[in-house]
Amino acid sequence: MREACGHGAFKGFRAGARPPGTEKHMDSNTTPDAAGHRQDCLRGQALAALAATAWQDKLAAVRAMSDETVLDCEQAYTPTAELPGRPARPELVVPAQVKQRSMATEEGRAALLHALAHIEFNAINLALDIMWRFAGMPAAFYRDWLRVAREEAYHFDLLRQRLAAMGYAYGDFPAHNGLWDMAQRTQDDLLARLALVPRTLEARGLDASPAIRAKLAGAGDAESAAIVDIILADEIGHVAIGNHWYKQLCAQAGKDPVSCYAELAQRYDAPRLRGPFNLEARRAAGFDDAELAALQAG
């Protein structure tokens, strides 16, 4: 593994462009593109995968990203394509226009699985986005989010295959874009991104999982319920990664994680979280008693 990053205490992170010509630790066998980006760096690969529009290309790009890929933690990137890359379908609508359907029909269950697949598609994009966008973090930060991107791609593919077995494809139902909206709002603020995407929206997925699983199992769809089990187990790890880096940045900045979270949630208009909370999964993901108490106090 070749890395152009320090392993010691990190001094900070930046969103935005680095002045041209100041790239550090460039290998002699790497060639920057016209925008000055090195193409072989893991973070450059994340940006390219994020820009991929067809789900097949996005999954292939994520699968091609290796733990052995050179990593430059300092390089700044300027996107040249519209982000995130996404296919023309599903049609994006406001959340109120996404219909709740009965679990008694296969179409209803397919609509639910499609909604989950769209969340996973956005989750792939979110993991890739945090990798390229925020420079100046330790190598372990980028490798953690590579793991998340891979697991989100796996979740998307499991759901896509289940949909295919039921006669449906990704894109067949309308979807809403709440997850990506929060990514846009926090594009200049890594602490807010960590607080409000993995620790809020992904953590909300932990809370929602048991009821979704019960709905599918109750309708006799054991195969789909088993996919929800796999996703929940992995998502605990994603929220744990969010918690780990959020708390590191809070400690570095001398901020209290609980009050800082409340401030960020208000500033960025985060959705208010309502119970029932999956406290067991949240504890496993690293939320401590003070955070869980604040959550339950609402």
Judged by CB under 5 A, the stretch of 136-144, 155-163, 208-216, 241-249 that binds Fe ion is: 155-163
User: Pick from 86, 118, 150, 155: which binds Fe ion (CB under 5 A)?
Assistant: 155
Draw the binding track, 201-220, toward Fe ion (x: CB under 5 A; -: no contact): -x------------------
User: Pick from 152, 207, 221, 291: which binds Fe ion (CB under 5 A)?
Assistant: 152
For residues 217, 222, 225 and 229, what is the CA-based torsion angle, rounded to 10 degrees? Answer: 120
**Which residue in 118, 119, 117, 149 sits closest to 131, CA to CA?**
149
CB of 130 to Fe ion, least distance (A): 12
Q: Give CA–CA dist 219/225, Å, rounded.
A: 10
CA distances in angstroms from 161 to 62, 138, 167, listed in the order given: 18, 36, 10
CA distances in angstroms from 43 to 97, 132, 136, 203, 272, listed in the order given: 36, 5, 12, 25, 32
**Which residue in 38, 26, 24, 35 sits closest to 78, CA to CA?**
35
User: Pick from 115, 117, 123, 153: which binds Fe ion (CB under 5 A)?
Assistant: 123
Judged by CB under 5 A, the stretch of 17-25, 90-98, 114-122, 207-215 that binds Fe ion is: 114-122
Judged by CB under 5 A, the stretch of 23-31, 86-94, 134-142, 237-245 that binds Fe ion is: 237-245
CB of 119 to Fe ion, least distance (A): 7
Spatial CB neighbours of 214, under 8 Å, sequence gap ≥ 6 = none
User: Pick from 38, 109, 238, 247: which binds Fe ion (CB under 5 A)?
Assistant: 238
Q: Does 133 bind Fe ion (CB under 5 A)?
A: no
**Which residue in 15, 17, 11 sits closest to 188, CA to CA?**
15
Which residue is at the shortest CB distance from Fe ion? 238
CA pseudo-torsion sign 197, 201, 202, 203? positive
CB of 4 to Fe ion, least distance (A): 28
Judged by CB under 5 A, the stretch of 73-81, 137-145, 173-181, 194-202 that binds Fe ion is: 194-202
The values of phi and psi at residue 3, to 5°, are -135, 140
What is the contact surface with Fe ion in residues (CB under 5 A)?
120, 123, 152, 155, 202, 235, 238
